[in-house]
């Protein structure tokens, strides 16, 4: 545990020093350093779509109804970490290395910590889809490991994230068919370890996360990867897919921390503020049966209460290190007639007029010092 705390303190100290140096050298009046009240608790949002959304030139509004930049709204409400996905060779520039690197530089100049999710794919990777990037397909396994090592090392060397995931929701393994946990468990473990070694090779401060989606089977999964060198256990929790018992969530987090002696985080979660929609793209959540009722209705108050309870559960977990809200930025940015727009606009942190919702205030709550 001391190792994790020391690393986080090192991250903060190094980040502050670099920021001061950058401000002195560049004289950028727009930079927003971390406030003195920040502590080690990770209050994160995933806004991986934001570079694309920003191209639509939408206006956003803070809780007082004043027009304000989204990043500033997030910062002013206690968000201290931004989670970004990274794809190897995406069809367009979005979520590719150049965009993520540039956006990370901007975010760090604004005082945010960077949390990278390496999908090791050209598109979405999740429990049901772990496709190796096109450029690595057909390689011999040793050549694949070498490619993964040098790719990961390059990412960390250039972006230097505070947190880095080796894979995204790797319940079924990653880089299929090479690292399918059912058919090639040994190779999957080697791939995880290779990624971890690449991080350690170039960074003394980046914290390595292994990310699992859901609660069922989590204990078995982390038994399988126990030999890997990593720091953080990340868990996705969505009531739609992972059950509606928050008591089970609390017990699972506490059990994982106690058994494996790792810090634990909610790596992804979200909840709707309405069951309505703001474009013609089918939403992921749209039925009452997908909710936790009556405690958390699909309303602005229900959304805030849900995330507040998630925050309490993490706070109450020994070794609970933080949470990340996924899709915070995913308003209907392609317009209200789009059929290829947002499937998440009713779960964003902004309403259908792009006003910040009450849920954003949850990020202001800091974890008490122990």
Element counts in the chain: helices (H) and strands (E): 10, 10
338 within 8 A of 279, measured Cβ to Cβ:
yes
pLDDT at residue number 44? 98
Q: 30 pLDDT exceeds 70?
A: no
pLDDT at residue number 365? 62
- Tell me 112's DSSP state: -
Q: 77 pLDDT exceeds 50?
A: yes
Question: pLDDT band at residue 366, thresholds of 50, 70 and 90?
Answer: low
Q: What is the mean pLDDT of residues 254-273?
A: 98
* Number of Cβ within a 10 Å radius of residue 150: 11
Average per-residue pLDDT for the chain: 91
* Number of Cβ within a 10 Å radius of residue 312: 15
Instruction: Go through the domains of the chain in sequence order and give each one's CATH number.
Output: 2-364 (3.20.20.80)
> What residues are paired with 233 via a beta bridge?
210, 264
Query: Which two tokens mark 96?
Result: 């590719």
Q: 21 pLDDT exceeds 60?
A: no
Question: pLDDT band at residue 29, thresholds of 50, 70 and 90?
Answer: very low
pLDDT digits (tens, 9 = 90+) for 137-150: 999 999 999 999 99
pLDDT at residue number 172? 98
d(C-alpha 200, C-alpha 217), whole Å: 28
341 within 8 A of 333, measured Cβ to Cβ:
yes
Classify 53 as helix, strand or coil: helix
Question: pLDDT band at residue 40, thresholds of 50, 70 and 90?
Answer: confident
pLDDT digits (tens, 9 = 90+) for 275-312: 999 999 999 999 999 999 999 999 999 999 999 999 99
* List of residues 6+ apart from 43 with CB closer than 8 A: 78, 79, 80, 81, 322, 323, 363, 366
């Amino acid at each position: 545990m001391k190792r994790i705390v020391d690393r986080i303190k090192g991250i903060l100290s190094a980040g502050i020093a670099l920021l001061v140096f950058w401000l002195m050298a560049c004289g950028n009046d727009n930079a927003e350093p971390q406030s003195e009240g920040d502590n080690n608790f990770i209050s994160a949002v995933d806004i991986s779509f934001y570079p694309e959304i920003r191209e639509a030139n939408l206006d956003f509004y803070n809780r007082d109804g004043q027009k304000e930049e989204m990043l500033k709204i997030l910062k002013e409400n206690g968000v201290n970490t931004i989670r970004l996905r990274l794809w190897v060779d995406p069809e367009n520039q979005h979520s590719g290395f150049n965009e993520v690197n540039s956006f990370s530089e901007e975010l760090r100049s604004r005082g945010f910590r960077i949390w990278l999710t390496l999908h090791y794919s050209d598109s979405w990777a999740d429990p049901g889809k772990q496709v190796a990037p096109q450029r690595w397909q057909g390689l011999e396994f040793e050549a694949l490991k070498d490619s993964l090592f040098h790719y990961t090392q390059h990412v960390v060397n250039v972006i230097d994230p505070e947190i880095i995931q080796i894979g995204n929701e790797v319940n079924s393994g990653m880089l299929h068919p090479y690292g399918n946990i059912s058919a090639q468990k040994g190779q999957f473990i080697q791939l995880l370890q290779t990624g971890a070694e690449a991080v350690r090779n170039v960074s003394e401060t980046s914290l390595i996360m292994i990310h699992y989606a859901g609660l069922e089977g989590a204990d078995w999964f982390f038994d399988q990867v126990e030999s890997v060198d990593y720091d953080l256990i990340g868990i996705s929790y969505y009531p739609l897919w992972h059950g509606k018992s928050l008591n089970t969530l609390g017990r699972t987090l506490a059990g994982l921390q106690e058994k494996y002696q790792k810090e634990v985080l909610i790596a992804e979660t979200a909840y709707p503020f309405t069951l309505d929609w703001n474009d013609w793209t089918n939403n992921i959540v749209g039925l009452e049966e997908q909710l936790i009722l009556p405690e958390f209705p699909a309303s602005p108050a229900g959304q805030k209460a849900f995330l507040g309870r998630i925050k309490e559960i993490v706070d109450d977990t020994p070794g609970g290190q933080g949470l990340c809200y996924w899709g915070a930025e995913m308003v209907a940015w392609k317009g209200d007639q789009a059929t290829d727009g947002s499937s998440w606009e009713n779960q964003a942190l902004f309403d259908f007029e792009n006003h910040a919702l009450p849920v954003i205030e949850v990020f202001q709550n800091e974890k008490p010092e122990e």
